[in-house]
Amino acid sequence: MYEALLGRYPYPKFALIENFWETGYGMPSFTLLGSTVLRLPFILTSSYPHEILHNWWGNGVYVDYREGNWCEGLTAYLADHLMAENRGEGPVYRRTTLKHYADYVTGSQDFPISTFRERHNSVTRAVGYGKTLMFFHMLRLELGDQQFIDGLRTFYQENRFKRVSFSVLADTFSRVAGSDLRPLFAQWVQQTGAPVLQVKNVRVEHQGKTYQVHARLEQVQRGRPYHLRVPVFMTAEGEEHAQMQSIVMNGRETDLAHTMSSRPVRLDIDPEFDVFRRLDRAELPPTLSEAFGDTHALFVLPTQESPELLEGYRRLASAWKLTMPDAQIRLDQELEALPQDRAVWVLGWNNRFRHEVERSLTSLPVQLTEKDLVLDSARIARQTGSVVITSRSATPPFNAIGFVATETAMAIPGLSRKVPHYDRYSYLAFMGEETKNILKGEWPIVSSPLSIPLGGPRAASHPIHPPRKPLISVEP
Ligand SMILES: [Zn+2]
């Protein structure tokens, strides 16, 4: 598949080698994978294609790091994202990527792609992998699939076994496209931050047999406006698929007008997450990454629990705090109320603030009681299961609330180790001392500011549009 997409594989052989350390390394003509990851059935569509592709990017064309590392984002885009796209999950993959950026990269932690070398935490991953792969996605949408592929092939052919930088990529793609793409590269590679989109002045005009949808798109981030190509979806009554229009923005504001022959029922701005941008909280369901991403989070320990459980929770909080340098750990009896200015982790069934967690869940399809957790038609009994749930506080700025509770002290080390790996989920349940995962899922999105109902009969919860064809099909 990659030879068809990019050009000849550069080495005479490829080997997959099992390592006694848990590594995931792509080396010239071989990959070193740890024995645990090697056993996972899904590596065939995740780590394995990623490491194979590193023979083109990284070990075929080498990285000149002086302008930043282009290779991880490009490899993630053409391996992990491509696999997702082939499963019809491209939009979900991109949403997770943007959510990761929104949750982990805040304020002064942000940095431009041009200073990315390698990942060592969630922040460097969100920019070095996430922002970079979104940049290649936008480049593809700007050029169209064929020209994007031509650019990749030319770049590979001309630079095999050479050390090259982002400038060479920019020059190659400009030559192939016949237009100067260097400003586009500079905007995404050298600038820190992300655009933030808002929509206003939405109205529908009805004239004779046609309807016109008007709206104003705005970029409201600080700093310079970006050049953006924003997909806008319009759904009309009685039509199976939404109509899509790409809005090109070159300044802070752009007005859009779209004529339809049937009554429009909804307007959606970038509903498939094709633009790298800072997402609005309300576009996203609360997930664990939100609570893990707040480095100032507060852990609230349950005074009323048994000494064993209390000690277990204390250890869990200390372990998680290692990635949240400014987090604090307090006992529930020391607090009058939960703070509103930071994420909060409420630990234990007997925590004084459990009722606050219950209250934060009222708009969600779940019930947390004295005895159990009921959701997804499953019931997790307090005596046998361990539960992890996230929600948001009811008042602005709607900070994350995490709840972890178990009656099995022996399960806490397992929770401490496993839960951070499930950070894209909203709720989890585990069974027994061995903490076997039995339930995981994401809350539904209640209201997004970039999805505007235009009246008429209630439309589906999401605009429907035929999925984009993958860049190349994975053979079954
Ligand atoms: Zn990689």
pLDDT at 62: 98
The span from the CA of 413 to the CA of 402, in Å, is 17
Ligand 1 centre distance from Cα of residue 222 (Å): 32
State yes or no: pLDDT of 458 exceeds 80. Answer: no
Structure tokens at 260: 């339809």
Neighbours of 465 (CB within 10 A): 18
- Separation of CA 308 from chain center: 36
3-state DSSP assignment of residue 219: strand
Ligand 1 mean position, distance from CA 82 (Å): 14
What pLDDT sits at residue 46?
A: 84
- Expressed in angstroms and rounded, the spacing between residue 125 Cα and the centre of ligand 1 is 11
Distance 192 CA to ligand 1 centre (A): 22
Instruction: Quote the ligand 1 centre to 72 CA distance (angstroms).
Output: 5
What is the pLDDT, as a whole number, of residue 395?
78
The pLDDT confidence band at residue 44, using thresholds 50, 70 and 90, is confident
> In this predicted model, what pLDDT tens digit does every residue of 205-231 receive, in sequence order?
999 999 999 999 999 999 999 999 999
Over the stretch 346-356, which tens digit does the pLDDT of each residue have?
999 999 999 99
Q: Looking at the domain 288-441, which fold is it?
A: Chitobiase; domain 2 (3.30.379)
pLDDT over threshold 80, residue 396: no
Strands 30-34, 62-63: pairing is unpaired
* Strand-pair category, 243-249 with 228-236: antiparallel
Residue labelled with tokens 């997790």: 380
Q: Is 118 helix (H, G, I), strand (E, B) or coil?
A: coil
413 Cα–ligand 1 center, Å = 30
- Name the nearest CA neighbour of 386 among 430, 425, 438, 356: 430
Report the pLDDT averaged over residues 82-104: 93
DSSP 42: G
Fold (topology level) of 2-189: Neutral Protease; domain 2 (1.10.390)
- The Å distance, Cα 76 to ligand 1 centre, comes to 7
Considering the chain, what is the average pLDDT of its residues? 93
299, with CB counted inside 10 A (0-12, 13-18, 19+), is buried
Report domain extents, the chain.
2-189, 197-281+448-453, 288-441
CA distance 251 to 330: 47
- pLDDT, one tens digit per residue, over 135-194 is 999 999 999 999 999 999 999 999 999 999 999 999 999 999 999 999 999 999 999 999
CB-CB contact of 60 with 43 (8 Å): no
Window from 47-56, 372-381, 422-431 with minimum mean pLDDT: 372-381
Tens digit of each residue's pLDDT (9 = 90 or more) over 383-394: 989 999 999 987
Beta-bridge partners for 26: 31
How high is the pLDDT of residue 377? 79
The alpha carbon of 244 and the centre of ligand 1 are apart by a number of angstroms equal to 34
Q: Is the pLDDT of residue 464 over 80?
A: no
Reported as a pLDDT band with limits 50, 70 and 90, residue 40 is: confident
Dist. CA 46 → ligand 1 center (Å): 11
Q: How confident is the model at residue 446 (pLDDT cuts 50, 70, 90)?
A: low
Q: Does domain 197-281+448-453 have CATH number 2.60.40.1840?
A: yes
Q: Please write the tens of the pLDDT for every residue from 230-289.
A: 999 999 988 888 999 999 999 999 999 999 999 999 999 999 999 999 998 888 888 999
Rounded to the nearest angstrom, the distance between the alpha carbon of 75 and the centre of ligand 1 is 6
Quote the ligand 1 centre to 356 CA distance (angstroms). Answer: 42
Closest CA to 274 of 337, 197, 192: 197
- CA distances to 96, 193, 296, 417 from 108, in Å: 22, 10, 14, 28
CA distance 259 to 212: 4
- Tens-digit pLDDT profile for residues 332-368: 999 999 999 999 999 999 999 999 999 999 888 899 9
Residue 88 scores a pLDDT above 60 = yes
CA–centroid distance, residue 54 to ligand 1 (Å) = 7
Confidence of residue 37 (pLDDT cuts 50, 70, 90): confident
Q: State how far the alpha carbon of 379 is from the alpha carbons of 276, 367, 385, 418, 430, in Å.
A: 38, 9, 10, 21, 12
Where does the pLDDT of residue 459 fall: very low under 50, low under 70, confident under 90, or very high at 90 and above? low
Coil, strand or helix at 199: strand
- Between the CA of 278 and the centroid of ligand 1 the distance, in Å, is 24
